[in-house]
């Protein structure tokens, strides 16, 4: 670890205490009316915590800000769309969703799609299936990248750029996503307890659903973060996923259906990525042992 244990614990404590306090404040004011402002505030809290944690923490965060790799940006965009389409498939095959008929109308006679209440970059006139797919994907990409820059990146610069990297050095890359996911779930627990995430089952959401979903998403993002210290790929993946979740064809029937669909997608992704991370960790450990044996043999 590049941070001392004391500094690392201070960073986590500042994020946790500030996040809980802000959520309680918004709940007291009216969490439903100011929900969007609350989410933005929670996204910026980790960045502010890094700024309060000393020069070393700031330098680690700046590395994740300055490093931009076009290849991994593309992989981040691809990951966001994979999550989106996988969730749509889960909603469809699990019969957990319904057509977003307030926005899209399928004209099967002319084989066109009509859109209302949405602004697409290439126009909103009736368009063919292929052109609409291009139009929608381009719009989600541009808006998702803007959301990543303005909202998600401060969150990822701390959690993936600093905390995940430090935990990877401490407990290994195959265990770090578990701790990161649980910490994020713990910091966001009041959202569930106050009924903002799922008003039908706040306790179940707070203590079961959200921690598991946070760990699953943490594994997905670890697949991006482990190969680059840049936080841009994970931020863009989340930005696209967040924007697209409420703008594609199928919408979840309710909050429980939404969490169930996300759970299926993230569970399958977690099984695959965790296996890859464990394999990579074992290879790294074996390489360390081989180098140690070579040094001992030379001496």
Average pLDDT for consecutive 10-residue bins of the chain (299 residues)?
A: 85 93 85 74 90 88 85 89 88 84 81 83 86 89 92 90 88 85 90 82 84 86 78 90 82 80 78 68 53 51
Q: Is the pTM of this model over 0.95?
A: no
* Helix, strand or coil, per DSSP, at residue 216: helix
| DSSP sequence for 208-271 | IIHHHHHHHHHHHHHHHHTT-S-SHHHHHHHHHHHHHHTTSSEEESSHHHHHHHHHHHHHHHHH
pLDDT at 28: 80
* Helix, strand or coil, per DSSP, at residue 14: helix
Total number of residues shown for the chain? 299
Instruction: Sort 119 into a burial class: Cβ within 10 Å, 0-12 / 13-18 / 19+.
Output: exposed
pLDDT at 13: 93
pLDDT at 85: 87
């Amino acid at each position: 670890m590049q941070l001392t244990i004391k500094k690392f614990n201070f960073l986590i404590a500042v994020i946790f205490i500030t996040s809980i306090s802000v959520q309680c404040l918004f709940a007291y004011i009216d969490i439903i009316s100011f929900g969007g402002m609350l989410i933005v505030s929670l996204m910026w809290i980790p960045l502010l915590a890094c700024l309060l944690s000393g020069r070393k923490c700031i330098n680690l965060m700046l590395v994740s800000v300055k490093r931009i790799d076009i290849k991994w940006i593309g992989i981040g965009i691809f990951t966001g769309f994979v999550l989106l389409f996988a969730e749509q498939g889960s909603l469809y095959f699990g019969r957990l969703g319904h057509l977003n008929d307030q926005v899209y109308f399928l004209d099967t006679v002319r084989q066109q799609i009509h859109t209302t209440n949405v602004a697409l970059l290439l126009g909103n006139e009736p368009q063919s299936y292929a052109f609409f797919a291009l139009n929608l994907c381009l719009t989600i990409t541009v808006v998702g990248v803007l959301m990543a820059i303005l909202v998600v990146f401060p969150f990822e610069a701390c959690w993936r750029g600093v905390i995940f990297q430090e935990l990877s050095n401490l407990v290994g890359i195959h265990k770090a996503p578990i701790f990161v996911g649980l910490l994020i779930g713990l910091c966001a627990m009041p959202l569930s307890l106050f009924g903002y995430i799922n008003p039908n089952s706040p306790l179940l959401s707070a203590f079961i659903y959200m921690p598991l979903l946070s760990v699953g998403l943490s594994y997905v993002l670890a697949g991006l973060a482990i190969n680059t210290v840049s936080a841009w790929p994970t931020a863009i993946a989340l930005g696209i996923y967040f924007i697209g979740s409420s703008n594609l064809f199928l919408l979840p029937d309710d909050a429980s259906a939404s969490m169930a669909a996300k759970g299926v997608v993230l569970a399958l992704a977690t099984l695959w990525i965790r296996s890859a991370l464990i394999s990579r960790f074992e290879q790294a450990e074996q390489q360390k042992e081989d180098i140690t044996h070579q040094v001992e043999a030379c001496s």
